[in-house]
């Protein structure tokens, strides 16, 4: 057994299914495997800014196996409040990074496990370097855009939710001879759209990685409606641009900008170009909630165990990753490399084209 340690774990960025499964695996491995203490930090780095530090000791009762099934994160999370540019009430920004580092010292942590997407992991790495904090990262995001890993926690559940939405839209589309447009999340990454579109049998899939022509999309839908079936299913990622090349976005009350609305833009244009009746569903945050799928639970469990083992081995500044059905670790820097961009030989793109799914970039 290694020397007794106290470690911290936090969730940062947008939540997703499977975060509690990671926390449970961290606690199980650290407590049962090594006899360590684990503190769960509330609200990401925000908990480390509070005095006293907002954290709770986790044990096998509070973080037991029931957590595998539990959506959200028991620790809370935030995708606002970068401690290097912390928002002030007057609209200004303040560097509060030293307070966060001090919070880690106050908790007496020997190491920190950060569960986050690329943005959160970049902030945590900067804090770790500034404060000399031993850090291990665990990738999570429904967007699946963290570099260095094939899968991030939460992606599979989001794809499952989007696929189920297509399953529910298809019969009503067919009953009413309609074109149904489903807008899914993913920021600038089209992986949810592509995977769910194929799994759900979409006729058109539009992703930010592939520029599209609305005329190509309309021609494909018209061909379908005059041929094999009188309806169509279009899946579009929220980060797809409009015909002026701009994102369709919305400024929220707190000043941050979120994508959303390209589905409605497409719905109107497709109706004009094809004469079809269109309806639009924006799936939104339901993709982030709900029980994690078995594979998200599995990856989450493997990641949690691996992260604790890395700390036991004294190996820091690492990212746990999933590749070829194996858990491994890579330099944390790998998280910020472009994630699997859709190369022309991408398996799923080839599959979509092979199934005559229109990707908007060529006449089928």
Q: Which residues bind ligand F6P (CB under 6 A)?
A: 14, 79, 117, 141-143, 185-187, 238, 258-259, 288
Of 121 and 224, the one with the shorter C-beta distance to ligand F6P is 121
Of 71 and 174, the one with the shorter C-beta distance to ligand F6P is 71
Of 142 and 224, the one with the shorter C-beta distance to ligand F6P is 142
Own/partner long-range contacts of 73-76 (Cβ < 8 Å, ≥24 apart): 73/11, 73/15, 73/19, 73/20, 73/23, 74/20, 74/23, 74/40, 75/9, 75/10, 75/11, 75/19, 75/23, 75/40, 75/41, 75/42, 75/43, 75/47, 76/11, 76/42, 76/43, 76/44, 76/47
In the complex, minimum distance from the CB of residue 356 to ligand F6P, in angstroms, rounded to a whole number:
28
- Of the residues 15, 82, 118, 143, which is catalytic? 143
- Indicate if the alpha-carbon torsion angle 248, 250, 256, 258 is positive or negative: negative
- Rounded CA-CA distance 140/16 in Å is 7
Of 36 and 259, the one with the shorter C-beta distance to ligand F6P is 259
In the complex, minimum distance from the CB of residue 116 to ligand F6P, in angstroms, rounded to a whole number:
10
In the complex, minimum distance from the CB of residue 345 to ligand F6P, in angstroms, rounded to a whole number:
26
In the complex, minimum distance from the CB of residue 152 to ligand F6P, in angstroms, rounded to a whole number:
10
Which residue lies nearest ligand F6P, judged by its C-beta? 185
Of 103 and 137, the one with the shorter C-beta distance to ligand F6P is 137
- Rounded CA-CA distance 327/219 in Å is 44
Helices 347-354 and 191-200: crossing angle in degrees, nearest 10, is 40
Per the annotation, the verdict on 143 as an active-site residue is yes
CA 174-175-178 angle, 5° bins:
55
Asked if residue 28 has a cis previous peptide bond (ω within 30° of 0), the answer is no
Look at the chain and count its residues: 364
Of 170 and 287, the one with the shorter C-beta distance to ligand F6P is 287
Q: Within 10 A of 323 (CB to CB), how many other CB atoms are there?
A: 12
* Residues contacting residue 334 through CB under 8 Å, at least 6 positions apart: 147, 148, 319, 321
Kind and range of the H or E run holding 205 = strand 204-206
In the complex, minimum distance from the CB of residue 83 to ligand F6P, in angstroms, rounded to a whole number:
18
In the complex, minimum distance from the CB of residue 101 to ligand F6P, in angstroms, rounded to a whole number:
26
Catalytic residues: 143
């Amino acid at each position: 057994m290694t020397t007794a340690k106290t470690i911290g774990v936090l969730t940062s960025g947008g939540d997703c299914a499977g975060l509690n499964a990671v926390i449970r695996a961290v606690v199980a491995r650290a407590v049962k495997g090594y006899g360590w203490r684990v503190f769960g930090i509330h609200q990401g780095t925000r908990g480390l800014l509070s005095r006293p530090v907002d954290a709770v000791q986790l044990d096998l009762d509070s973080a037991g196996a029931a957590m595998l099934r539990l959506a959200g994160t028991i620790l809370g999370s935030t995708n606002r409040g970068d401690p290097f540019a912390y928002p002030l009430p007057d609209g200004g920004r303040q560097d509060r990074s030293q307070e966060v580092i001090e919070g880690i010292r106050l908790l007496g942590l020997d190491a920190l496990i950060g569960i986050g997407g690329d943005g959160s992991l970049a902030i945590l790495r900067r804090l770790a370097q500034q404060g000399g904090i031993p850090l291990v990262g665990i990738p999570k995001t429904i967007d699946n855009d963290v570099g260095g890993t094939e899968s991030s926690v939460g992606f599979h559940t989001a794809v499952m939710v989007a696929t189920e939405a297509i399953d529910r839209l298809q019969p009503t589309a067919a009953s009413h001879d309609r074109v149904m447009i489903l807008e899914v999340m993913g920021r600038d990454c089209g992986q949810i759209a592509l995977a769910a579109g194929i799994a759900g049998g979409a006729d058109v899939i539009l992703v930010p990685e592939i520029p599209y022509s609305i005329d190509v999309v309309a021609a494909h839908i018209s061909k379908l409606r005059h041929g094999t079936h009188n309806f169509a299913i279009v899946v579009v990622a929220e980060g797809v641009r409009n015909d002026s090349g701009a994102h369709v976005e919305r400024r929220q009350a707190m000043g941050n900008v979120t994508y959303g609305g390209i589905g409605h833009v497409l719905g109107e244009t497709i109706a004009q170009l094809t004469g079809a009746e269109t309806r639009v569903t924006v799936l939104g945050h339901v993709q982030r909630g709900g029980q994690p799928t078995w594979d998200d639970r599995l990856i989450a469990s493997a990641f949690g165990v691996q992260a604790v083992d890395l700390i036991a081995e004294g190996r820091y500044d690492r990212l746990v990753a999933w590749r070829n059905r194996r858990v491994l670790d890579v330099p944390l820097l790998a998280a910020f490399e472009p994630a699997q961009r859709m190369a022309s030989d991408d398996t799923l793109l080839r599959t979509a084209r092979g199934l005559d799914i229109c990707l908007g970039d060529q006449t089928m």
